[in-house]
Amino acid sequence: MKNRSLDHHLLLSQLKHLVADMFRLDIIEPDMIDDDEALIGGILDCDSLDAVEFAICVEEEFGIAIRRGEESNRAFASIASLADFIHSHTLTRHARALLPAAA
């Protein structure tokens, strides 16, 4: 459980740095962004077009596609929710890889 917390903390930091790099948030130190900060609107002032661009970045960086609709709304609710989304999809992908191949 401690390892998951460390991994989660590192994932949050990585996402904050991606957001700051993508949207050139020079006025905010990435690690000072609150975990529960909204990705759309809020102090980050990102819009839905920014979210699409960020979704592409997440797919390239983590190999996880974020579908439109309710899934993207939940994933992009905050930096923490995006980290949870990535973490759960990574666990699912690893679990599938451990299953024996269908005959």
Instruction: Kindly list the domain boundaries of the chain, sorted by start residue.
Output: 2-98
- DSSP bridge pairs for 46: 41
CA 37 to chain centre: 12
Stated pTM of the model: 0.77
Tokens read off for 93:
């992908």
- DSSP bridge pairs for 41: 46
Q: How much is the pLDDT for 3?
A: 46
Amino acid in position 72? S
Report pLDDT digits (tens) over 3-53: 455 588 899 999 998 888 887 667 678 888 899 988 888 877 888 888 888
Q: How much is the pLDDT for 22?
A: 82
Q: Are 43 and 28 in contact (CB under 8 A)?
A: yes
Exposure of 63 in the CB half-sphere (CA atoms within 13 A): 6
Tokens read off for 43:
């102090």
CATH topology (fold) of 2-98 = 1.10.1200
Q: How much is the pLDDT for 103?
A: 46
